[in-house]
Amino acid sequence: MSVFQKLPLPTFTERLYGFTIPHAGIIYACDHDESFRISLNGVPRVEVLDSKPYDFIASFDNALGIPGGTPLLRFNHVEVDYHFDGRPGTVTISVRHGDQTENVNFRTLSGDWFVATLSTCGKYLVLADPYLFECFEFA
C-alpha cells in the first residue's frame, strides 16, 4: 500500500519556469507568461494571478526550478532522495516515510531541471520539471 496518493491537479502551464515550496497547502508558480496560485487543500485548484511572472517568482526567497532554490528533502519522519543527471528520461525518487520506502519514477521531458520537494508541513510531495508538475499527499 502506498504511503501517498497523487492529487488530481489540473494542467495549468505548458512550460513551468519556477514554483515555491508548498506552505499551508499553497504553491505559487509561474511560466514565461503567467503567475499562478495552486491550492492543494480540498479539491486542488489553480488560479491565474495578475502578476508579472519573473518579478513575481523573484519575490520569493527560495523559488525552485529555473531560480535554482533549495528543495526541502527532509521533514520529521519523511525523507526524499533522488539524482537528476540532466538527461531527459526518468528520475527515480526514493521516499522514506517512517519505516516504509517507496520509489516513484518521474518522466522528465526536459534536461533543463528537475526538482522534488516536500511541503513545509511534510504533508505534500511535489515533483516537477518544465513540462510536468505532480503533487502527492501523504496518507
pLDDT digits (tens, 9 = 90+) for 81-110: 999 988 779 999 999 998 999 999 999 988
pLDDT at position 1 is 64
Alpha carbon separation from 102 to 31, 42, 108, 118, 123 (Å, rounded): 30, 25, 19, 15, 16
pLDDT at position 131 is 96
pLDDT at position 61 is 93
The number of helices, as runs of H, and strands, as runs of E, in the chain is 1, 13
Average pLDDT for runs of 10 along the chain of length 139: 89 97 98 98 96 96 95 96 89 94 93 96 96 94
pLDDT at position 25 is 96
DSSP annotation of 112: S
The model's pTM is 0.95
Alpha carbon separation from 76 to 9, 97, 124, 125 (Å, rounded): 26, 9, 13, 14
Sorted by where each begins, the domain ranges of the chain are: 14-134
